Amino acid sequence: MSALSVPILLDLWERGLVQQPFEWAMALLSSAYPGLGEQELFNLSIGQRNTYLLTLREWAFGTKLACQVSCPRCQKLLEMTLNTNDLKVSTNIEHNPVLLLERDEYELRFRLPNSRDLALITGINDIPLARQQILAACLLEAWYKKQPCSIEALPTELVQAMIEQMEQADPQADMQFDLACPACQHQWETSFDMVSFFWREIDRWARQTLRDIHTLAAAYGWHEAEILRLSPLRRQLYLNMVNQ
Ligand SMILES: [Zn+2]
């Protein structure tokens, strides 16, 4: 992984304002991991992509994740701090594994969802339809009694088994954790959305950085590039002096 400079992160943030979340994640990883080609990045399973993003997030903001979640029963806002290690699943999955499922004379060969599949469902707000599109893209071959069949012809239980097999093969794709509400004692499981969490952090950081640049530029007449060349410590010390 190469360390990203502040100007590069600001550029990625600015581009991210008009990108789909998966596109922004790809652009970010492409800058941080120049050794991975575009094809390879888009072909990473969602879990593998999340692993790279977690590592990058640790580099950018550390291992603590400040989260806010509303209790689904009493709506109380819960604030908690997770650690990136709480979300990491120790798994070493091979690149683009082909999964097999044989049941009731059906035979399926399929792969794990990747960012190319997320691109496919851009603009589709109907969740069951989006899911169907992803499954259809991941299904490489389906046979019933040795005859080819389509995804529409598969029984619901078989499709569910296919999804479960995908989840088991790529556990980092859906990072779940248990929660308990101190107000109403409700317990539930929720998913951690790596991309939107990281995006919100970068967005907050970028807007604060621009405010700091504005403050220093107004006070000293320096250009943006000059201010960004200051070490974080010196930038903060000058900000303290301006704000005294
Ligand atoms: Zn509650």
Query: Ligand 1: distance of its center to the CA of 182 in Å?
Result: 7
Query: Ligand 1: distance of its center to the CA of 183 in Å?
Result: 5
Helix (H) or strand (E) holding 102: strand 99-103
CB 29 within 8 A of CB 56: yes
86 in the same domain as 10: yes
**Does position 121 have pLDDT exceeding 70, yes or no?**
yes
81 in the same domain as 187: yes
Query: Ligand 1: distance of its center to the CA of 184 in Å?
Result: 4
203 in the same domain as 82: yes
Average pLDDT, the chain: 93
**Does position 95 have pLDDT exceeding 90, yes or no?**
no
180 in the same domain as 85: yes
Q: Would the pTM count as exceeding 0.85?
A: yes
- Model confidence over 32-62: pLDDT tens digits? 999 989 899 999 999 999 999 999 999 999 9
121 inside domain = yes
12 inside domain = yes
Query: Ligand 1: distance of its center to the CA of 160 in Å?
Result: 31
184 in the same domain as 158: no
Domain boundary residue among 169, 195, 214? 169
Query: Ligand 1: distance of its center to the CA of 70 in Å?
Result: 8
**Does position 91 have pLDDT exceeding 70, yes or no?**
no
210 inside domain = yes
68 in the same domain as 48: yes
112 inside domain = yes
77 in the same domain as 21: yes
User: 141 CB contacts (<8 Å, ≥6 apart)?
Assistant: 107, 108, 109, 148
95 phi and psi, to 5 degrees? -70, 130
- For residue 94, the model assigns a pLDDT of 73
217 inside domain = yes
- For residue 226, the model assigns a pLDDT of 94
Domain boundary residue among 169, 194, 216? 169
235 in the same domain as 185: yes
Domains in the chain, number = 2
Query: Ligand 1: distance of its center to the CA of 178 in Å?
Result: 14
Domain boundary residue among 152, 169, 186? 169
- Model confidence over 165-197: pLDDT tens digits? 999 999 999 988 889 999 999 999 988 999 999
Report, as an integer, the average pLDDT of 205-233.
Answer: 95
Range of the domain at 238: 6-90+176-242
Calpha distance 154→157 (Å, rounded)? 8
Report, as an integer, the average pLDDT of 187-215.
Answer: 95
- Model confidence over 135-159: pLDDT tens digits? 999 999 999 999 999 989 999 999 9
Calpha distance 14→6 (Å, rounded)? 12
- For residue 28, the model assigns a pLDDT of 96
1 inside domain = no
